[in-house]
Amino acid sequence: MPRVSVLVISSTKAFGGMENQTVNLVRALSGLGHYVVLGAPAGSLVYEKARQFCVRVEDISFTNAGDLFAVLKMARAVRRHNTDVIVATMGKEYWPVALAGKKLLGRKVVFMRHMADRLKGHTAWLVRHAVDGVVAVSDFVRQGLLEAGIPSEKISVVHNGIDLDRFFAGQEEQRRQARLELGFSPEDLVIGAAGALNEGKGLFVLINAAGLLKDALPQAKILLVGEGPGRAALEEEAGSLGVKAVFTGRRLDMERMYPAMDIFAFPSICRETFGMVAIEAMASGLPVIASSVGGVPEVVQDGENGLLVPPGDPRALASAIMRLAGDAEFSKRLAQNGQKKVRESFSSEAMARRFESVISGL
């Protein structure tokens, strides 16, 4: 398709799954030959990472929907780069981007929707009347948009994607170094999880499942990668149950953490819209156990490329862990199928191709 000039706005100084996906998207779109600019707070991680990948960046950050100073910055960037399409990735950007970008500047406007929360009535009205398209990161999110009254023809599903070159498996030296750094022995069965340490991620469920396995799998240890308000309580819970757990804190080198694991658990009890860490773990060659919540079943198919368990059920999670630990061939087959699924459906390039088709059809 002809080259399109795209301005993608990410008004946050945080760096989590959504921000990582923004970087993946702008990098991959640039790789397809489009003229891509990222608008983000100068000095933020998303801004700096985009610069590392040679993506054009502009210092644009909406503090709220009425941030006129940010509107002026956006308008200057749109004119400077002759932007065709403006993409808003966060809710606080929706109104100013739609009103200024569409109504005043005459550009096409696309909203990214990462959240499962139902749109408020006035925002749904805005989407119907002043937005050219909405990109949902999963069918689960799409369903929520439909329930909010968004016409189906305005909604496209573009699953998140990852940089396949960053995550890989089969390098024993990398595995050995990672386990040595984290204090694991070759005999340990390391069950890992990653993300914010809060109750919604189901990590207390994982700790309790590990407690149920102390006698059956004495070699099992838990690896929790991330930080959050629940860390102290999780450490206390692990201690009280006699569960051996390693807490790494926040890491930006997840590609080094996955090789240290034998099994990856994603036991969330909240309405997950997708489950990026599950995809990263699958790409890294790990068998994955996940809760059947939200959009996760779009990624993990039970018995095919992973195992699904009911949310909030430590016994079901413990049983799934035992199944993988006791059947090496089954575990290997799930891991191989998971890698194949990610390569086919969840690469950054696949995401960019789908997004390309959205903006070409506006």
Residue 337 domain flag: yes
Predicted local confidence at residue 232, as pLDDT:
97
On average, the pLDDT of the chain sits at 94
DSSP sequence for 29-89: HHHTT-EEEEEE-TTSHHHHHHHHTT-EEEE---SSTT-HHHHHHHHHHHHHHT-SEEEE-
pTM metric for this prediction: 0.90
The one-character DSSP state at 138 is: S
310 pLDDT more than 60: yes
Residues 85 and 210 in one domain: no
252 pLDDT more than 90: no
Residues 315 and 181 in one domain: yes
Residue 166 domain flag: no
What single letter denotes the amino acid at residue 5?
S
Give residue 294's domain range.
Answer: 172-345
96 pLDDT more than 90: yes
291 pLDDT more than 60: yes
Residues 194 and 233 in one domain: yes
Question: pLDDT tens-digit profile of 127-158?
Answer: 999 999 999 999 999 999 999 999 999 999 99
Ranking 40-44, 105-109, 247-251, 271-275 by mean pLDDT, the lowest is 271-275
* Maximum Cα interatomic distance, the chain, rounded to a whole number of Å: 67
Dihedral in degrees, nearest 10, Cα atoms 264, 331, 261, 169: -110
Say what percent of the chain tops pLDDT 90.
Answer: 85
Q: Of 278, 263, 288, 255, give the one whose Cα is nearest residue 160.
A: 278
Residues 191 and 292 in one domain: yes
Predicted local confidence at residue 169, as pLDDT:
58
Residue 209 domain flag: yes
Residues 204 and 122 in one domain: no
Residues 128 and 255 in one domain: no
Residue 18 domain flag: yes
45 pLDDT more than 70: yes
Residue 170 banded pLDDT, cuts 50, 70, 90: low
Residues 40 and 50 in one domain: yes
Mean pLDDT for the stretch of residues 158-173: 82
Residue 167 domain flag: no
Residue 79 domain flag: yes
Residues 110 and 246 in one domain: no
The domain that holds 102 is classified in CATH as 3.40.50.2000
Residues 191 and 233 in one domain: yes
Residues 325 and 278 in one domain: yes
Residues 216 and 242 in one domain: yes
Residue 211 domain flag: yes
Angle (deg, nearest 10), helices 17-31 and 348-360: 70
Predicted local confidence at residue 1, as pLDDT:
72
The one-character DSSP state at 346 is: S
Residues 323 and 183 in one domain: yes
Q: Say if CB 144 and CB 123 are below 8 A apart.
A: no
25 pLDDT more than 90: yes
Predicted local confidence at residue 215, as pLDDT:
94
Total domain count for the chain? Answer: 2
d(CA 150, CA 128): 6
d(CA 356, CA 278): 25
